[in-house]
Chain A
Amino acid sequence: MKLLGDILDQQMLDSEGHKFGKVDGIVLEVRDDGTARVAFIEEGAAVLARRIGRRCERWALAWNRRLGVRREPRYRIPWEKVLDVGVDVKVEMNGKDEPPQDWERWWRERVLSKLPFA
């Protein structure tokens, strides 16, 4: 499997088929015998920011703290939870209560629910 082509930047779906972020990063683990395996896939603004640069990452972490909406700006999913890699990456978990949906929940509860016809 070509890691970068097949997983990185793909859409993630949870067990119920809901979109919950993209694969923003991949964490590799190098074993004692020198071979590498994917340990985690990562999601979050801090992960994305790091791809642009260290400074950008610090900035993203600082803003995440200041806004205080999202619990964990670098969210890791163990590779064992990945069920299928096709058009999307299917992950075995209920995404609804996980950090990638913190902002979704914040907009829904704090803003959108107060608008008419919601």
Chain B
Amino acid sequence: MNLLEVALGIITGIGGFLEVGSIATSADGGASFRFQLIWALAVATICLIFLTEMSGRLAAVSKHTLADAVREEFGFNFTIVPRAMELIVNFMVLTAELGGVCMALKLATGWPIRVFAIPVMLIAWLMIWAGTLKIIENGTSMLGLVALCFAVAAWKHHPPLHDVLHGLVPTMPHHDAPRYWFFAISIVGATIAPYMFHFYSSGAIEDKWDEKSLGTNRFSAIAGMAFGGGLSVAIIVVAGMVFFPQNIQVSQYEQVPLMLFPTLGRWALPLFAATLGVCCFGAAIELALGTAYMLAQTFGWNWDENEKPHREARFAAAYSIILLLSGLLLLTGLDPLKLTMYSMALTAVILPLVVIPFLMLMNNEEYLREHTNGPIGNAVVIITIVLSSIIAIVTIPLQLAGGGG
């Protein structure tokens, strides 16, 4: 098994999993409902493991990326709908991720977010423009290990194991039901992000995977996503141990590092800022690239992150423009935490449009030959996605009406 190939899974795990969305939804969820929402994270992580494995398998067996195959199988008039929705959601989430990096810098320096918006956007752009996928992958994987500070904090709290395990069983909330369900689907939206499938299947094509890669694919999907999921559980546990007993709800990012103080002391702030900064930066790069892959594969442009930008001008233009627009949107001074929570919930709404055609492909022997999906994978994914979308459509208006976030 090639360690470098596994790195593709781990970076998708860190960059795509632990990012502004999962940090915010997990911290807020743990503060409001203690360990009660761990089940939502567990379900979403299992679903994500299946979906990540599927995007690698699709690419390895059929030599098609997700966007290529969906257009080919369902035609342009269908494909334009999910891709347009993804473009809007990606733009919002990318802005939230860049906002997360700026928030990390704000925590470290005390300077406002607007000061950092454009420099952060430019550095992310330069990484993609001048770097290669391998450098980006390995760099983010290594630096992302700083996120282990959440696991250390959770460990040091000695949380009651029985209560944590009890959180794995879905239960009805005793209070604030609409908020509870809004959090549940925000956690699903933060965990299962469609851009990751474009990023992962394109990476598999760039790395020239074939049927021999299926074992590596399965291993890296499970390892990467379980790693990210485990760290998100750690955040829920720490927030549930520190914020919940004191009835503190997370209404600003500045509150989140406080939950590390009881265990990490003076290291709390720098470690939290580093984790937030690195993870959001990795996710922002994946998002910008994932969006460019998606557009290039929908319209047939040249795409290859390892090529020089001038060899694939439209691909490079796509990630440059979306980064620029996100940087400019940040300058308007919108609340990054609210933006994050609503972007995650909106992701949950559009998931069926992206995932259902994906599942149909995965059951099509013309693409997958003897490697089509089994019944368990199909069932887990379809139930999770459809239920999340319905709950999202019901709870987002309630949450908007209540003015929370």
Tell me if A26 counts as interface (CB < 8 A to partner B).
Answer: no
Q: Which residues of A contact B75 (CB under 8 A)?
A: 4, 8-9, 51
Tell me if B177 counts as interface (CB < 8 A to partner A).
Answer: no
7 residue pairs, one from A and one from B, having the closest CB atoms: A22-B300, A107-B313, A108-B313, A21-B300, A117-B130, A107-B317, A19-B302
Tell me if B206 counts as interface (CB < 8 A to partner A).
Answer: no
Tell me if A115 counts as interface (CB < 8 A to partner B).
Answer: yes
A51 to B77, CA, bound (A): 7
Decide: A104 and B313 in contact? CB cutoff 8 A.
yes
Decide: A9 and B309 in contact? CB cutoff 8 A.
no
Count residues of B near A (Cβ-Cβ below 8 Å).
Answer: 27
A21 to B300, CA, bound (A): 4
Decide: B300 and A20 in contact? CB cutoff 8 A.
yes
Contact with A along B74-95 (1 / 0, CB 8 A): 0111011000000000000000
Decide: A9 and B72 in contact? CB cutoff 8 A.
yes
Q: Which residues of A contact B261 (CB under 8 A)?
A: none
Known: A11-B300, A51-B77. A103 touches B314 (CB 8 A): yes
Which of the four size classes fits the interface of chain A?
20 to 34
Write the residues of chain A forming the contact surface with B, with a CB cutoff of 8 angstroms. Answer: 4, 8-12, 18-22, 24, 43, 48, 51-52, 87, 103-108, 111-113, 115, 117-118
A-B contact list, 5 entries, CB within 8 Å: A19-B303, A22-B300, A43-B300, A105-B313, A118-B129
Tell me if B299 counts as interface (CB < 8 A to partner A).
Answer: yes
Select from chain B the residue with minimum beta-carbon distance to A20. B300
Q: Which residues of B contact A52 (CB under 8 A)?
A: 77, 80
A118 to B75, CA, bound (A): 35
Decide: B313 and A18 in contact? CB cutoff 8 A.
no
Decide: B126 and A117 in contact? CB cutoff 8 A.
yes
Q: Which residues of A contact B71 (CB under 8 A)?
A: 9, 22
A71 to B116, CA, bound (A): 41
Decide: B299 and A21 in contact? CB cutoff 8 A.
yes
Nearest CB of chain B from residue A13's CB, rounded to whole Å: 10
- Give the residue of B80, B126, B316 whose beta carbon is less than 8 angstroms from that of A112: B316
Decide: A51 and B76 in contact? CB cutoff 8 A.
yes
Tell me if B158 counts as interface (CB < 8 A to partner A).
Answer: no
A9 to B313, CA, bound (A): 22
Nearest CB of chain A from residue B90's CB, rounded to whole Å: 20
- Give the residue of A20, A24, A115, A118 whose beta carbon is less than 8 angstroms from that of B76: A24
Q: Which residues of A contact B300 (CB under 8 A)?
A: 11-12, 19-22, 43
Nearest CB of chain A from residue B301's CB, rounded to whole Å: 6
Decide: A118 and B302 in contact? CB cutoff 8 A.
no
Nearest CB of chain B from residue A54's CB, rounded to whole Å: 14
Q: Which residues of A contact B129 (CB under 8 A)?
A: 115, 117-118
Select from chain A the residue with minimum beta-carbon distance to B72. A9
Decide: B64 and A104 in contact? CB cutoff 8 A.
no
A18 to B302, CA, bound (A): 7
Residue picked from B72, B75, B126, most chain A C-beta under 10 Å: B72
Nearest CB of chain B from residue A40's CB, rounded to whole Å: 17
Q: Which residues of A contact B316 (CB under 8 A)?
A: 107, 112
Q: Which residues of A contact B308 (CB under 8 A)?
A: 118
A54 to B301, CA, bound (A): 25
Tell me if B310 counts as interface (CB < 8 A to partner A).
Answer: yes
